[in-house]
Amino acid sequence: MKVTVILCTYNGDQNVPTALNSLAAQVLPDSVEWDVIVVDNNSKDRTRDVVEEFCQRHPGRFHYLFEPQQGKSYALNRGVREAQGDVVAFTDDDVTMEPTWLHNLTANLHNGEWAGAGGRTLAEGGFVPPKWLAVESQHALAPLAVFDRGLEAKESKEAPYGNNMAFRKELFEKHGGFDARLGPCAGSSRPQKNEDSEFGMRLLASGERLRYEPSAVVYHHVPPNRMQKKYFLEWWFDKARADVRAFGITNPKWCVAGVPARLLRRLAAWTLRWMVAVKATRRFECKQTVWVLLGQIRECYSLHRGEKTSNQPRLQENSLRNVSERSQGV
């Protein structure tokens, strides 16, 4: 069997060498053939030079690929098309991996029992959560790309994170690729989230089985600017927009300019809770929920104004509400 790792980067000449060195140190059985495709998504810095130099030091193992169409989803889909592996794994340019990461992530995907797998993503060493964050909430550290569901391997009912996931390649032929309306895209007003989780949720909705593999560990770099309230609020606002764009909304009974009236009622209720909350962590939880609701409202209004494509999937009943409830644990 063969495994292909896809790493997409944009202006990553500073970060990508560390990630590539970590990938080069992966240890797999001799029976597993594996390679890495680095997809350069139209970088303007020295990314190409850095990656090609690395490829020369590791001939046959690492490959450079240029994708000129801006947007991470385009880069991911290009990588999938070029991948020769039976299993395709994904990671990012701002993580490092345990040497056993790739083997542990993909070892259970060769027999057909599992469609895909997601590993455990931890903040790099020395990370201390801010005091204003209620870390007991399951999704509290999602803006930092941290995904930790414990030490027990099990079936997962949630989509894995894009920095630590793998799927059998045949799944892309069966279910399609990453949604090009979503994901990071320099200079775009589209939501900068969800291209990874949308694909995983699409598989789950189709009845495919995903595995949570805690022994597949990567460490995510957390720069100082991401430890600020402003970053968390902007992240949840954008995530809420992406959820609406990816999955649509049910047709509510009452709307105001395309915005479900229930969202406006919930916005008023959570704003009041934010105003009266005393405990710092609870106050910020409420504020995050307000930003989630604002993001949903923003995207609903955009849809109403015709800023969306017409092939919009639909959420199941109450799914829109669950976006904010899931994010805040309410």
Q: What is the pLDDT along the chain (330 residues), one digit of tens a residue?
A: 899 999 999 999 999 999 999 999 999 999 999 999 999 999 999 999 999 999 999 999 999 999 999 999 999 999 999 999 999 999 999 999 999 999 999 999 988 899 999 999 999 988 999 999 998 888 999 999 999 999 999 999 999 999 999 999 999 999 999 999 898 888 777 778 889 999 999 999 999 999 999 999 999 999 999 999 999 999 999 999 999 988 877 767 788 888 999 999 999 999 999 999 999 999 999 999 999 999 999 999 887 887 544 343 333 323 333 443 443 333
**Cα gap 103→144, rounded to integer Å:** 24
**Cα gap 121→110, rounded to integer Å:** 23
User: What domains sit in the chain, N to C, each tagged with a CATH number?
Assistant: 2-226 (3.90.550.10), 229-328 (no CATH)
| pLDDT recorded at residue 136 | 86
Q: Residue length, the chain?
A: 330
Query: Is the whole model's pTM more than 0.85, yes or no?
Result: yes
| pLDDT recorded at residue 307 | 58
